[in-house]
Amino acid sequence: MAVRVEPLDGEFLKVKYPNGDLIKRKFIVADPIQVLFDFIGQDEMASEVFRIQEATSSNAIESTSTGSISDHGIKPFSTLYILWTSPLDNLEKHSDPVNVAQPPMDSSFVQSSVALSPVQSPVTPTSAQPAVVLPTAQSPAALPYVQPSVASFTAQTPFINFNFEDQPAEPIVIDIDEETPHSSPSPQPSDIVDLSLIGQGSSVVLDEVDLQTILKKLQSKIDGNICPTANQINVFRENILHCSLQAIKRRRFNPQAKLDVVFVDADENGEGAIDEGGPTREYLRLLMRSVHQSNVFQGNEKDRSLALDTQALETTLYASVGKMIALCVVHRGVGPHFFSERLFQQICGVPTSPASVDEIGDHTLREQLIKIQEATTVLEANCAITEAADSLSIIGALRYVSSLTERNSLVQSAAEFFVNGRLRAALDQFSEGLQTLGLLEEMQKYPAVFYDMFVNEQRPLQAKDLCSLFYVNFSPQGSNRRAKENQTVCHWRDWLIDVEEGESDAMTLERIMEFATGASTVPPLGFPHRPEIEFLHQDGKIFPEANTCLIILRLPIHKEYEMFKTYMTEGIMQSPYFGVA
């Protein structure tokens, strides 16, 4: 098996092995998927044939598959879970009638009833049970699904094999009895849909489940016509989190009403912006940034988990931060994009993989456990345990071992307590805050829908995004002004390309977006109306201007590109607040 050298210009993929090990490596997604299989197959525990599954997909990919990495829907920054298989698993797969391809059923028969043989149906339909409506042939959207750990599914877990390729034109309604036992073989990730992820006792039309639909439903709870005094948020940019805590802890603060954001400068004077949408977008962006940097989180900037802070527990800061995140998401804000997979799974009630030593945030304890783990004899392990006695005693894991198996058990139990057990109170409090506006309930029903918003890194803006975002208000065709405006639009688009390629000082496309709209990216539900570009023909108007409430960007007129570039950059960089650049 020839394993290629890691490419310098590739995209990162995370590979999660059954033992909990997580490896991050670059791949070129246009390469054959065999390159990925060769890399995974070099693990000493690898089976001859194995399966991989992307975190948000319900389809497993067998190591005998062909095509490129991207052909199988694997995107940059994806997390791939590995499942080793045995020869017996493969034999069962090819002999089990559940997995044998069936000929298309007569559509007239299917539309009137669904006949499942005892072998094909692990559950017995009864009319008293909730119904799941399958997508039609015209709406092939997959069921929202997160499969973090295949080990969490047992032979007692109800499963349904959903195959949307040969569905009839009309929806099929299957009544599901989750209590009926069955003796079918344990399902593989590609064969199952975990009904707990779509909510028990509810009827779900699968092709209607997407992020925009859910956010619109949550946002419908907000009454934009009322704005009580208690909802005024006086914001000092240097201490966003404290100002937000002052507001949301008011007894009459109402998250279901409109927010009234007032920015105050260092001299405690209002910045002069009336909140008609722009200040709120600016505030929610800054609030999410402050939440990301708060002391209730720890770890990598893009992979953060909860940190244990006893003062935060006493002051219910975890609940307040959860409430802030809910406000940001539902009030036309943006998602966190920094949750670790474990934190996201815990919040959503999805089974997590075993904790690993690498996830332990305390450097001293992590190094001590690694030393115990790497001990090759019982004597060496006990010596390492003695050195770590103080740390192990604090977490209730101090015990000496009589075998290397007991050594592994000690390390695993210590890691589980540090990563999961000791944070239980903080996690419960944080979850309580996320219940605001019904956000947590929807996350637990549809974790796969919210995965990108909470876990995956946000896609960087591109020049073409801003070019297509704004509607340009031109003067009449043939006028003198129109000729100048045409030239200015060319300058604008050239400048965006320069910024994307890093050729315009410290300017970024996100900073331009913030100046024009108050948001650093397009919110999940979009803007209330399409942003516009106007032009400053008046003499002396050499810098850009923006109205973030009306979402209007006004470009100055400059004959030479270099002058346009200079004044646009200086104007935006020197304008941290609302108003004229």
Reported as a single tens digit per residue, the pLDDT across 45-93 is: 888 898 898 766 667 899 999 999 888 888 887 888 888 876 555 554 4
What does the mean pLDDT of the chain come to?
A: 78
**Cβ-proximal residues to 52 (8 Å cutoff; 6+ apart), any chain:** 15, 36, 40, 60, 61, 63, 80, 81, 82, 83
Residue 504 — pLDDT band, cuts 50, 70, 90?
A: confident
Q: What single letter denotes the amino acid at residue 575? A: S
Domain ranges in the chain are: 11-95, 107-209, 229-351+425-454, 357-419, 463-573
pLDDT of amino acid 279: 83
Query: Residues 218, 468: contact at Cβ < 8 Å?
Result: no
- Nearest-angstrom CA–CA distance, 281 and 514: 9
Q: What's the CATH number of domain 463-573, 3.40.50.970, 3.30.70.360, 3.30.2410.10, 3.10.20.30?
A: 3.30.2410.10
pLDDT of amino acid 46: 86
Span 235-251, mean pLDDT? 91
Q: What single letter denotes the amino acid at residue 422? A: R
pLDDT of amino acid 160: 35
pLDDT of amino acid 553: 95
Q: Does residue 543 surpass a pLDDT of 80?
A: yes
Total residue length of the chain? 581
Q: Which residues are catalytic?
A: 549
Span 222-233, mean pLDDT? 89
**Cβ-proximal residues to 187 (8 Å cutoff; 6+ apart), any chain:** 153, 157, 159, 161
Q: How many CB atoms lie within 10 A of CB 68?
A: 16
Q: Regarding predicted confidence, which is higher, 68 or 95? A: 68
Residue 145 — pLDDT band, cuts 50, 70, 90?
A: very low
Q: What's the CATH number of domain 229-351+425-454, 3.90.1750.10, 3.20.20.105, 3.30.310.50, 3.90.1150.10?
A: 3.90.1750.10
- Nearest-angstrom CA–CA distance, 198 and 141: 14
Q: How many CB atoms lie within 10 A of CB 129?
A: 18
Predicted structure pTM score: 0.60
- Nearest-angstrom CA–CA distance, 102 and 124: 20
Percentage of the chain exceeding pLDDT 90: 46
The answer regarding whether domain 11-95 maps to CATH 3.10.20.90 reads yes
Query: Residues 332, 523: contact at Cβ < 8 Å?
Result: yes
Residue 374 — pLDDT band, cuts 50, 70, 90?
A: very high
Q: Which helix (H) or strand (E) holds 572?
A: helix 561-573
- Nearest-angstrom CA–CA distance, 287 and 324: 8
Residue 498 — pLDDT band, cuts 50, 70, 90?
A: very high
Query: By mean pLDDT, which of 301-305, 454-458, 525-529 is the weakest?
Result: 525-529
Percentage of the chain exceeding pLDDT 70: 74
Q: Does residue 415 surpass a pLDDT of 70?
A: yes
